[in-house]
Amino acid sequence: MPEELNFEFTDRPAADDLDAVDAGLHLHNLHAVDQSGVRTLACFARHAGGRVQGGLRARQWGAAVEVQQLWVEPSLRRHGVAERLMRLLEDEARRRGAALIFLDTFSFQAPGLYERCGFHAAVRLDGFPDGIAKYVMVKRLDAAGEGQATPPPEAEADGDGSDGGDGD
């Protein structure tokens, strides 16, 4: 290891330092695999005036679709808006040849919503405060996923898809 390297730990990193890590990893990824096929996908629920009242951001790479963010205006939650957004994504993902959709969510966000949409918890990660868990949830769109039975996550909250986080 080169001696001129100095190592440090901080819980207050500078934005420029974080940007350097992001840019370095991005450059590595560009050289490692062809990402030209990665497509951003999105679904929106708009008020009659055009304002976004809910939305879903995802990306597809090959046969896999990752839901990155799902949000619904609080006054519209529990009215089926998030489920409709998820159905729109699933229909389009199938049309585009996707075999699976995956996402991550915390137990205080919307694991119950995703279960109702046909997802199952593939991974549960504990260690967060107040008994909070993080789930990686998957829905197979191909024949391999049919009839798959996995116990649902124990959700403390059963929201309407307003993860509120960045999905990463």
pLDDT at 145: 53
**pLDDT per residue over 123-132, tens digit each?**
999 999 999 9
Q: What does the domain layout of the chain look like in residue ranges? A: 39-145
Among 91, 92, 105, CA closest to 133:
105
pLDDT at 72: 97
Name the CATH architecture for the domain at 39-145.
3-Layer(aba) Sandwich (3.40)
pLDDT at 17: 97
In sign, the C-alpha dihedral spanning 102, 112, 163, 157 is negative
Does position 25 have pLDDT exceeding 60, yes or no?
A: yes
| Pairwise CA distance, residues 122 & 117, whole Å | 15
| Pairwise CA distance, residues 65 & 100, whole Å | 6
